[in-house]
Amino acid sequence: MIQYHCVMHMDIRNEKIWIFANSTEHDMAADLVNLGVPKQDIVFGFFPPIRREMTDYAVG
């Protein structure tokens, strides 16, 4: 049986970068900010919307 695991999953939706999964030790959101992406354009899709409001990043 072959099993697959998604190491990282990001989508671009409505001109925002949604991070849905990150099984690496890298902080992908911080890497994106360092590359010039504004925090308002990054959404933590693995958080529920109420929790996203508590971050410096976009809600959705």
Place of tokens 């939706």: 13
In this prediction the pTM is 0.86
**Pairwise CA distance, residues 39 & 35, whole Å:** 11
pLDDT at 9: 95
Q: How many CB atoms lie within 10 A of CB 27?
A: 11
- Vertex 36: Cα angle to 24 and 21 (nearest 5): 25
Q: Using one digit for the tens of pLDDT, what is the confidence trace for 1-24?
A: 888 888 999 999 999 999 999 999
CATH architecture of 8-52: 2-Layer Sandwich (3.30)
Q: Using one digit for the tens of pLDDT, what is the confidence trace for 46-57?
A: 999 999 999 999
- The residue ranges of every structural domain in the chain are 8-52
Is residue 37 predicted with pLDDT exceeding 90? yes
Provide the terminal-to-terminal Cα distance of the chain, rounded to the nearest Å: 37
pLDDT at 5: 85
